[in-house]
């Protein structure tokens, strides 16, 4: 194969080899390039071929753009508290009291609260419930002392005790909460930072206030049973 030159060059004997080898010669002057020039041009041609191949390989090796879809946000859950006077819906605050929220959900899903009662009601202050002993009227003198058999470490946080806020009941020991809770009827700043708030009513305030108006005896025990029929944990959106 002959590169550059032409028929005249071949006839003039300017080709290095007419037996199939490459020949590089000067166009138009009929004079062959020097050996050094031939080597230079061969190297340049080789570099051009190799360079082109590398460019193609590098382009093929480039990582393909992958569309990363954002992860679906975890569905929020609420507690639907069904009582003798209607339903209340509570949203949770796992950002400030994760372990308390987890415990409340666990007990609710296990049916722990079903059939208990709001055994202590103080008008203008709060309603308290969640004691498993309140399922049995025969244990009325012990209401307020029951627990799930373990304690939950306190998670005091900046959330304030205002109307509709749900918080954990406890004894004098800060880490003595277990299952009993209370819902504020009005603001109670004296409790802030001393009890674990973990959620707030998003609906059912009228039910809360009806429960808060239940007549009680001198020990704050309702004269008429304020039953908690059930507490169910549900996805927030479907709840009306």
Say yes or no to pLDDT of 197 above 50: yes
Res 214 pLDDT > 90? yes
Give me the half-sphere count of Cα atoms (radius 13 Å) on the Cβ side of residue 85.
Answer: 17
pLDDT at site 131: 98
The helix (H) or strand (E) run that includes residue 232 is strand 227-235
Does 14 have pLDDT greater than 50?
no
What domains, with CATH codes, occur in the chain? 2-59 (no CATH), 77-235 (2.40.100.10)
**Could you read off the pLDDT of 140-166 as tens digits, one per residue?**
999 999 999 999 999 999 999 999 999
Q: Of residues 154 and 19, which shows the higher confidence score?
A: 154
Residue 11: predicted pLDDT: 40
Mean pLDDT for all residues in the chain: 82
In contact, 101 and 233? CB cutoff 8 Å: no
Residue 34 burial (10 A CB sphere; 0-12, 13-18, 19+)? exposed
The CA distance from 42 to 30, in Å, is: 19
Q: What are phi and psi of 228, to 5 degrees?
A: -105, 100
Taking alpha carbons only, the member of 156, 179, 184 closest to residue 169 is 179
């Amino acid at each position: 194969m002959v590169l550059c030159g032409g028929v005249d060059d071949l006839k003039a004997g300017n080709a290095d080899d007419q037996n199939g080898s490459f020949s590089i010669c000067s166009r138009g002057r009929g004079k062959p390039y020097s050996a050094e020039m031939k080597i230079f041009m061969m190297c340049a041609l080789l570099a051009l071929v190799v360079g082109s191949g590398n460019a193609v390989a590098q382009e093929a090796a480039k990582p393909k753009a992958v569309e990363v879809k954002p992860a679906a946000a975890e569905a929020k859950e609420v507690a639907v508290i069904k009582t003798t006077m209607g339903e209340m819906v509570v949203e949770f605050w796992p950002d400030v009291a994760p372990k308390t929220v987890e415990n409340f959900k666990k007990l609710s899903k296990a049916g722990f609260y079903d059939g208990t009662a709001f055994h202590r009601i103080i008008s203008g202050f709060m309603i308290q419930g969640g004691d498993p002993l309140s399922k049995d009227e025969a244990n009325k003198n012990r209401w307020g002392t029951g627990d799930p058999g373990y304690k939950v470490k306190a998670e005091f946080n900046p959330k304030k005790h205002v109307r509709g806020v749900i918080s954990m009941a406890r004894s004098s020991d800060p880490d003595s909460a277990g299952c009993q809770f209370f819902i504020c009827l009005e603001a109670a700043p004296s409790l802030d930072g001393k009890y674990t708030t973990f959620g707030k009513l998003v609906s059912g305030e009228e039910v809360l206030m009806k429960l808060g108006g239940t007549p009680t005896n001198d020990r704050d025990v309702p004269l008429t049973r304020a039953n908690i029929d059930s507490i169910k944990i549900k996805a927030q959106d479907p709840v009306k």
